[in-house]
Amino acid sequence: MLDELAGFPGLRMAEAGEFSRRAFVNGKLDLTEAEGLADLIAAETEAQRVLALSQASGALKAIYDGWQQRLLHARAMIEAEIDFSDEEDVPGSVADQVWADMRDLLSAMEEHIAGAGRANAVREGFRIVIVGAPNAGKSSLMNALAGSEVAIVSDEPGTTRDIVETRLVIGGRLVLVADTAGIRETENAIEAEGVRRALVRAGDADLVLHLSDTGSWDDLSVPSGVPVWQILSKADLRERNSTAGLVTVSSKAEGGLESLFDSLLKHLDETIGRDLASLPTRQRHLDQLRRAVREIELSLDGFDAPLELRAEHLRAAGFNLGSITGQHTVEDILGVIFSEFCIGK
């Protein structure tokens, strides 16, 4: 059918995102809604679908437009005092009416930015890294979680040299599980590089599963904000399958895997949550939001500065917000955004 259609003069395949871009140009969508539509098309999990649908339906647009109106009102009040200070119906000071609201707006924006980690965990995947000494059962646990032979399992220590990653869906959320090289001192340059990479990946993780088959765990050099769970492995070789205060698993006999899954599901609920609406989903959003926050901070901190300069900082903050929705943007940014769409969308 496509070959037949291609024979008509002037008929061609639509470029990636062409129709969505036309909708943006004609004011039917703003950039956040267009990006949400692209994410909805690419969604793999229920959580990704909910987040993308919220954005495509205009949740972020409503938030940013509301903030724009508050900034516009603040600027109008300041300019009224500057231009019409001799008029009786213009307040002599805008401090109580403007700056208190700007402090509230600043708090709301900072809280919004703080949700970016949750949004990233949904959109890009919650990152779990399995670490431990050689032969602690890391690859076996990886395979048991994935339900397939993702990683090579061997009695020979140091089998895993590079990072092996698989994608899972737990509770409707995308989870990226990484198996890493066994952590130990070694003279082998390749294995040493694997250990280095394991520690780097653990430092960037959302959760680290630290396995041990001996009940002894060495300290990991990971940032304090990264949660580390101590997992006692190879429970099928022990007399008891549970140890107080520890998650105990047996990848071979599947002992404790249900408990581990339940613990992971609870942790995902606590860290990501179920309320996924209105979270910033793109680095582009965060960059402009942080610039806007900085401009508002400068306006609030400059209480000794002329009102004209403080109003200029509020104008710059509004410009940054407008760049997110597409009120102020450049062709290069549009090209990047709409290139993410499928052909014909």
**pLDDT tens digits, residue range 220-237?**
878 888 899 988 887 666
**pLDDT tens digits, residue range 32-77?**
999 999 999 999 999 999 999 999 999 999 999 999 999 998 988 8
**pLDDT tens digits, residue range 157-173?**
555 567 888 998 888 89
Mean pLDDT of the chain: 83
Asked if residue 51 lies in contact with residue 123, where contact means CB atoms within 8 angstroms, the answer is: yes
- Token readout for 138 is 């890391």
Residue 171: its pLDDT value, please? 87
Reference 155, options 171, 176, 134, 170; nearest CA is 134
Residue 219: its pLDDT value, please? 78
What are 211's strand-pairing partners?
132, 231
CA distance 187 to 9: 68
C-alpha distances (whole Å) from 89 to each of 10, 78, 94, 287 are: 63, 14, 13, 40
Residue 91, pLDDT above cutoff 70:
no
For 294, the 3-state DSSP assignment is helix
Residue 241: its pLDDT value, please? 46
Buried-exposed string 36-64: b where 16+ CB fall within 10 A, e elsewhere? bbbbbeebebebbbbbbbbbbeebbbebb
Residue 321: its pLDDT value, please? 94
- Token readout for 26 is 């004609």
Reference 102, options 292, 330, 239; nearest CA is 292
**First CA to last CA distance, the chain:** 18
Residue 254: its pLDDT value, please? 55
Q: Rounded to an integer, what is the distance from CA 236 to the centroid of its chain?
A: 38
Residue 161: its pLDDT value, please? 63
Residue 199: its pLDDT value, please? 87
Selected residue with higher pLDDT from 197 and 340: 197
Residue 242: its pLDDT value, please? 47
- Token readout for 87 is 């008029």
Edge-first strand order for the sheet with 228-232 is: 164-170, 173-179, 126-132, 207-212, 228-232, 247-248
Selected residue with higher pLDDT from 21 and 253: 21
Residue 130: its pLDDT value, please? 92
Question: What phi and psi, each to the nearest 5 degrees, are found at residue 140?
Answer: -65, -40
pTM of this prediction? 0.77
Residue 236: its pLDDT value, please? 64
The single residue listed with the structure tokens 């909910």 is 50
CA distance 173 to 177: 13
CA distance 144 to 123: 24
| Full set of structural domains in the chain with CATH | 18-115+279-338 (1.20.120.430), 121-271 (3.40.50.300)
H/E stretch holding 250 reads none
What is the rounded average pLDDT of the residues 15-26?
88
Stated length of the chain: 345
Percent above pLDDT 90 for the chain: 34
Q: How many CA atoms lie within 13 A of 48 on its CB side?
A: 21
Phi-psi region of 217 (alpha: psi -120 to 50; beta: other; left: phi over 0): beta
**pLDDT tens digits, residue range 108-161?**
999 999 999 899 999 999 999 999 888 888 888 888 888 766 665 555 555 556
**Torsion sign across C-alpha atoms 231, 235, 238, 242:** positive
Residue 40: its pLDDT value, please? 92
**pLDDT tens digits, residue range 176-200?**
999 988 888 777 888 788 888 888 8
Asked if residue 263 lies in contact with residue 248, where contact means CB atoms within 8 angstroms, the answer is: no
In 84-162, alpha helices (H)? 100-114, 116-123, 138-146
Asked if residue 164 lies in contact with residue 151, where contact means CB atoms within 8 angstroms, the answer is: yes
Residue 70: its pLDDT value, please? 94
**Torsion sign across C-alpha atoms 16, 166, 224, 247:** positive
Greatest Cα pair distance in the chain: 88
Asked if residue 5 lies in contact with residue 326, where contact means CB atoms within 8 angstroms, the answer is: no
CA distance 207 to 228: 6
For 168, the 3-state DSSP assignment is strand
What is the rounded average pLDDT of the residues 91-96?
58
**pLDDT tens digits, residue range 290-303?**
999 999 999 999 77
Residue 51: its pLDDT value, please? 92
